[in-house]
Amino acid sequence: MKTLSGIIPPVVTPLKATDQLDVEAVDRLVDHLWTGGVDGLFVLGTTGEGPSLSHKVRCEMVERTCHAAAARVPVLVGVTDTSLAESIQLAEHAADCGARAVVAAAPFYFPVTQEQCVSWFGQLADASPLPVLLYNMPGCVEVSLELETVRTLSNHENIIGVKDSAGDLSAFRALCDEFAATDFLVFMGPEELIPEAVAAGADGGVCGGGNLLPEVYVRLYQAAIDHNDAEVSRLNGIVRKMYQQIYHDQKGCMNIIAALKLAMSRCGLCEAVTCPPLLPPHEEHVRQIDASLPEILKAANADLSVSLPV
């Protein structure tokens, strides 16, 4: 029986300062996401800047999100770290707070082999009080979980699935084919590939843009399941606008997290503060976001208003 499915946004971490959680904004954002119909919340992932945050802020984010969610939707917690002991401690804290599962990418800094990945995830799953979802994020940790590695780890009773953010559709389809007749979960990371992921048999998507426009991604996922090609095309057009006009600047350079937080700040959801090493969008990118955002919200029929600085 599948334990999780649908759209589970990787929640941004609202900050007042680089090491200060904005607790009121967490509550506001959780309500916004729940009202938007999402199927879960994934905190402390890449979009949530998890590895950049202090352990204090990570723990506070888990506590506040679980409290705000109040069991309305399941909460998944990113525990990616260079230290296995820290990952396990955060998994224990997540369990104490009422989270449903933890999500972990491979350890970074030291280069790791597939054999070392199997050992690392196996030890984490042995010690974690919560089920573990593998996170394939080669763009950040510089190691890709191979199909054979995922197949081996899927035999662990406490490893329930994989979130794949590699952006390789061929490899993603192979994952879906491998686990089609099982309860092992396969989630798509890149939001622009949701229709293709659903066609391949994915259990859902982890869409960063869902922080701003949760209804768009929820409806897109459902339209793809229903084979409603016209609605998929319409909604995918909004997703492409997000990708091209919000995430990317005029030169095609991407600054997705800072840009997304800026757009969210214009809508009163959180402040635009990011944690180092991330930097704010440059002036031209800010102007592009401010010019594009009203059009995107209108196309999405979003119940949000834009407030630009004077």
The reply to whether 251 falls in a domain is no
Q: Which residues make beta-bridge pairs with 236? A: none
Read off the tokens for 136: 């394939």
What is the phi/psi pair of residue 185, to 5°?
-85, 145
SS3 76: strand
Mean pLDDT of all residues belonging to the chain: 97
261 catalytically annotated: no
Q: Which of 16, 56, 163, 217 is catalytic?
A: 163
Q: What is the pLDDT of residues 252-277, one digit of tens each?
A: 999 999 999 999 999 999 999 999 99
Quick one: what percent of the chain has pLDDT higher than 90?
Answer: 96
The reply to whether 116 falls in a domain is yes
Say whether pLDDT at 2 is over 80: no
Domain that holds residue 180: 6-214
CATH number, residue 78: 3.20.20.70
The pLDDT of residue 57 is 98
247 catalytically annotated: no
Whole-number Å distance between alpha carbons of 138 and 220: 26
Residue 3: pLDDT band with limits 50, 70, 90? confident
DSSP state of 10: B
b (16+ CB within 10 A) / e for 195-207: bebbbbebbbbbb
Helix (H) or strand (E) holding 229: helix 229-241
The reply to whether 118 falls in a domain is yes
The pLDDT of residue 134 is 98
- Predicted structure pTM score: 0.96
Whole-number Å distance between alpha carbons of 200 and 195: 9
Do 7 and 239 meet the contact criterion of CB atoms below 8 Å apart?
no
How many domains are there within the chain?
1
Q: Which of 109, 135, 217, 241 is catalytic?
A: 135
Q: What is the pLDDT of residues 103-138, one digit of tens each?
A: 999 999 999 999 999 999 999 999 999 999 999 999
Say whether pLDDT at 240 is over 80: yes
